Structures are given as C-alpha cells and as structure tokens.
Amino acid sequence: MREIIFDTETTGLDPQGGDRLVEIGCLEMVNRVTTGQSFHAYFNPERDMPAAAENVHGLSAAFLSDKPLFVERVGELLEFIGTSPLVAHNAGFDFGFVNAELAICGLEPLDRARMVDTVAMARVRHPGAKNSLDALCTRYGIDRSHRTKHGALLDAELLAQVYVELTGGRQIGLELAANQSDSLVTTVSTMVRERRFRPARSHAASAEELAAHADFMATIVSPLWGSQSETPHNPGGD
C-alpha cells in the first residue's frame, strides 16, 4: 500500500487568521518501507515572519522572499501525493494549512478521509504519555540528534520511522510485494538475527555440594519430616 508521510512549516497557527504555509516535505512509503521518492518545497508566504515562528523553524522572511508561491508548485505537489493516504503528526493542523492554500488557488480541498493522524495513534498506544514527535523518537530509540530546528522534510523522515513503530514495528516491512523483491531481500537480511545455541549445562550436584548439603541438614533440630510415628498406619486395623 502506498502512503505519503508529510509535514509542514508555517508562519503561525491559524490559516484563517492570515497565517501561511512556508514549507512542505513529503515522503513516499510502500508497505511501510520508504522508497526514496520525496517532494520538498519552500514557499514565499507574501507576508512577514513572526519571531515566534522563525524561532521554531529558522525560516526568515528574507530567506523565503525569492521562493516560489504555493500556486507555482501546487501541481507538482498534487501529482506526487496522488490519491494515497496522508500521514502527519497532528494531521488536522497540516491539513488545515494545505487546504487553506488550495482554496487560495481555487482548488478543491484534500479529503480529510485520507488523513492519518499519528498523534491520535500514539494516544491510543501510549495513553497518558507525552506524544510529541521528539518524545516518540526518544521512546522508540530513533536518532534525532541532527534536529536542531523543525524542518518539514527532516520531520517527515523522523515521522516515517515513528509511524512504522506505531503500526507494529519494523517487521511489518516484510510484507510481500512482487515489485519489491530486491528491496525486501535487503530488508530481511538486515532484520534477521543469528540464533545462538548454547550447549546443555550439567545439573548434577558435585561431591562438594552434596557434602555441604548433608552438613546443613545435620544442623536442623526436630525436622518436620521426622516428626511422624515410625509405626505404619493400618487402615484396616482395630
């Protein structure tokens, strides 16, 4: 099954209040395995960049000033995502911004039925725990040491690894697909671990252990196993 993992960066939190999309990163996955195909773009938001937002992703108005408008690359974006399910962390936020930009372009919004929200998945899997992308990377042992700022493509790459863990772990990539035989061989070879067998260990007590046991037993006064009468009980007697 083909899925698109994606993330966005914006000028703020509210597309209805004038905030705009400034970056999107998308990765293609087939049967929970990344294929190496991606789409990444920066956009000129045609407005200023609030300091709070720039502190999060590091994208300044000056950096974005010569980048294309969303409308100039929307065709490439829609072609890349196709009709595949769209996976994002707090997906409602990302869908809201993408759909706001599509509306500006006079295009139909993305169907929210395609939305797969990994925050909702994580809340079910880890109720009561922190479920930010950073927290999930830590929980699953995913290296994020190179993530000094938020970045749409980098965060999509991290989310792809988190998504695999949330949907059953790395063994799910072993699903057979006729057109992926070579990649599956590589996947299997890296996942299979050699089983090591140890020779059976003798469990018989040594002479020294038997002697130590006898010495210990001799120290027990009036043991329970010696308190019963030595006269055998006769069920049929008087």
* Complete DSSP assignment for 105-123: TT-PPPPGGGEEEHHHHHH
Mean pLDDT, residues 181-204 taken together? 48
pTM, to two decimals: 0.70
Average pLDDT of the chain to the nearest whole number:
85
Please say whether the beta carbons of 205 and 213 come within 8 A.
yes
Residues 152-179 have pLDDT tens digits of: 999 999 999 999 999 987 654 444 443 4
Residue 22 pLDDT: 98
Contacts of 78 (CB under 8 A, 6+ apart): 107
Q: Which residue would you say has higher pLDDT here, 216 or 186?
A: 216
Phi-psi region of 46 (alpha: psi -120 to 50; beta: other; left: phi over 0): left
Please say whether the beta carbons of 20 and 11 come within 8 A.
yes
**Residue 13 reports pLDDT greater than 80:** yes
**Residue 226 reports pLDDT greater than 90:** no
Q: Enumerate the active-site residues.
A: 150
In the chain the domains, ranked by start, together with CATH numbers, are 2-169 (3.30.420.10)
Say how far apart CA 57 and CA 131 lie, in whole Å: 20
Q: Which residue would you say has higher pLDDT here, 10 or 183?
A: 10
Name the pLDDT band for 56 (thresholds 50, 70, 90).
very high
Name the pLDDT band for 26 (thresholds 50, 70, 90).
very high
Lowest mean pLDDT among 54-68, 73-87, 90-104, 138-152: 138-152
In sequence order, what are the beta bridge partners of 87? 5, 116
Percent of the chain at pLDDT above 90?
Answer: 67
Residue 203 pLDDT: 64
